[in-house]
Amino acid sequence: MGHEAAFFGRASSRGGNAHTRRYGQIRADSVRIVAPLAAEDCVAQSMPDASPAKWHLAHTTWFFEQFVLRPHLPRYRVFDEHFEYLFNSYYDSVGPRHARPERGLLTRPCLAEVRNYRAYVDEHMLQVLADALAPTAVIELGLNHEQQHQELMLTDVKHLFSRNALEPAYRRDLASPTKRGEHVTPSGWSRFDECLREIGADEDSGFCSDNETPRHRVWVDAFELANRPVTNDEFLQFIRDGGYDEPRLWLSDGWASAQREGWRRPLYWSETLDSEFTLGGRRALDPASPVCHVSYYEADAYARWVGARLPTEAEWEVAAAGQPVTGNLLDADMLHPRPASGSDGPAELFGNVWEWTSSPYVAYPGFNATDGALGEYNGKFMCNQLVLRGGSCATPTGHVRATYRNFFFPQTRWQFAGLRLARQADQ
């Protein structure tokens, strides 16, 4: 999901009515996410890695226009010929595009016109869906792509509001993640014996990204995985023990990044280490909740400090295989990590925070990128990024799975990213 995660794959066939309902629901979900925002909130861009909410609304619409309506709906007329340039993200084979760091300068088209654009494309998409004019896999790709942007809208708005001197809340009605008397999973380890396993997506099991394929065998040595992600309180101990001052804990690039950027704590934590900025406004730091908004470098340094390491993505997938894909995802409507609960094996593998792994984002053996412009989704980004697994509190339900590979640059902090520890098991 990095720059915008990459999804493609094969989708199981659906009836026309079911697909139409799914399309309508996901498109409506995006509108609901921006509903609490003022028009001014939808235009601003807080940093080059983030995009304005208005741009997200337009880009996800452009995707359907570019890859579904134009090639598959006879006599379709584009809404505005300028939008191909304005709302292309990174598809070089489609044509030139507006510079990403300058998306916040697009005061025009206005938000109302972007909403009209969405309505125009939706009307024509209903015809495509009713008459089955486009391949199911491409439509399913577009829907997954929109869900991915729903999470990005939330992380980008959070960063934007954190830069506002007033620290406005996206929503004041968000519930506190911690409930009085709630059972919190104690610190512990789950053992997994050495094994020869298959990881990756089975192309016949439903929609998947091409970067999840092909399914292949890997040898995994015996390992142990922590029963839950690292908490705020545990990370606080790392800070108070001088973790940000000890270069021996850090990778060279990480230490350089921390010094250059002045990192002293996770993103959104106060200098006094007792509160953090959330989508519900500034709140007291909950010691039991998973730490989030940490870079790979910080996650790796913490793991070294505690005498453990980060899991590989193969280890994470072995642990997650067969587990129900439930947890603190977007439909829980907390929009913030909550304390992990549960005792049977690793808890909360899905939702709460994306979990950094130590694995570089590279192609699986035998990987083949999708043909055409959609092949730009994944393959060309397989360099200098790390894999994250499991989804977050802002990931739409049904959008994540055990084989899902998210990826970001190691210095990334504005996503809901945390960590779960691993270590070698005694033989």
The last residue of one of the domains, among 110, 145, 162, is 162
Q: Confirm whether 181 is domain-assigned.
A: no
> 206 and 305 in one domain?
yes
Rounded to whole angstroms, the Cα distance separating 63 from 138 reads: 10
Q: CB-based burial of residue 99 (10 Å sphere; 0-12 exposed, 13-18 middle, 19+ buried)?
A: exposed
Strands 406-408 and 417-418, bridge-based pairing: unpaired
The CATH number of the domain holding residue 236 is: 3.90.1580.10
11 has a pLDDT exceeding 80: no
Q: Confirm whether 256 is domain-assigned.
A: yes
pLDDT for position 184: 73
Tell me which residue range forms the domain holding 100: 16-162
Q: Please indicate whether residue 375 or residue 66 has the higher confidence score (pLDDT).
A: 66
Give me the percent of the chain exceeding a pLDDT of 90: 84
- For the segment 138-155, the average pLDDT, to the nearest whole number, is 96
pLDDT for position 6: 40
**The two three-digit tokens of residue 115, written as one number:** 């909403």
Cβ burial 223-251 (10 Å sphere, 16+ → b, else e) = bbbbbbbbbbebbbebbeeebbeeeebbe
> 45 and 158 in one domain?
yes
> 414 and 285 in one domain?
yes
> 358 and 232 in one domain?
yes
* Confidence band of 169 (pLDDT split at 50, 70, 90): very high
pLDDT for position 163: 98
135 has a pLDDT exceeding 90: yes
14 has a pLDDT exceeding 60: no
pLDDT for position 13: 41
- For the segment 32-58, the average pLDDT, to the nearest whole number, is 98
**The two three-digit tokens of residue 372, written as one number:** 């055409």
| Residue 101: φ, ψ to 5° | -65, -10
Residues 230-283: tens digit of each pLDDT: 999 999 999 999 999 999 999 999 999 999 999 999 999 999 999 999 999 999
CA dihedral over 114, 117, 123, 129, signed as positive or negative: negative
**The two three-digit tokens of residue 13, written as one number:** 């066939």
Contact 373, 94 (CB under 8 A): yes
The last residue of one of the domains, among 120, 144, 162, is 162
3 has a pLDDT exceeding 50: no
pLDDT for position 272: 98
Rounded to whole angstroms, the Cα distance separating 136 from 122 reads: 16
> 240 and 136 in one domain?
no
Q: Confirm whether 246 is domain-assigned.
A: yes
- For the segment 124-153, the average pLDDT, to the nearest whole number, is 96
pLDDT for position 341: 82
For the chain, the average pLDDT equals: 93
> 251 and 128 in one domain?
no
pLDDT for position 10: 40
Residue 51, sorted as left (phi over 0), alpha (psi -120 to 50) or beta, turns out to be beta
> 230 and 122 in one domain?
no
pLDDT for position 9: 41
Answering whether pTM is above 0.75, one says: yes
Residues 80-108: tens digit of each pLDDT: 999 999 999 989 889 999 999 999 999 99
355 has a pLDDT exceeding 70: yes
> 217 and 317 in one domain?
yes
- For the segment 161-169, the average pLDDT, to the nearest whole number, is 98
Give me the percent of the chain exceeding a pLDDT of 70: 93
Strands 195-199 and 422-424, bridge-based pairing: unpaired
> 408 and 345 in one domain?
yes
Q: Confirm whether 177 is domain-assigned.
A: no
* Confidence band of 4 (pLDDT split at 50, 70, 90): very low
> 155 and 255 in one domain?
no
Out of 59-73, 192-206, 297-311, 399-413, which region has the weakest mean confidence (pLDDT)?
A: 192-206
pLDDT for position 8: 40
Q: Confirm whether 293 is domain-assigned.
A: yes
Residues 281-309: tens digit of each pLDDT: 999 999 999 999 999 999 999 999 999 99
Q: Confirm whether 243 is domain-assigned.
A: yes
Q: Name beta bridge partners: 190.
A: 225
Out of 204-208, 213-217, 411-415, which region has the weakest mean confidence (pLDDT)?
A: 204-208
Q: Confirm whether 362 is domain-assigned.
A: yes
Rounded to whole angstroms, the Cα distance separating 84 from 393 reads: 32
**The two three-digit tokens of residue 257, written as one number:** 């990044």
* Confidence band of 343 (pLDDT split at 50, 70, 90): low
Q: Please indicate whether residue 325 or residue 177 has the higher confidence score (pLDDT).
A: 325
> 204 and 246 in one domain?
yes
> 275 and 416 in one domain?
yes
pLDDT for position 340: 87
Residues 302-323: tens digit of each pLDDT: 999 999 999 999 999 999 998 9
Rounded to whole angstroms, the Cα distance separating 108 from 113 reads: 9
354 has a pLDDT exceeding 80: yes
Q: Confirm whether 4 is domain-assigned.
A: no
Domain total of the chain: 2
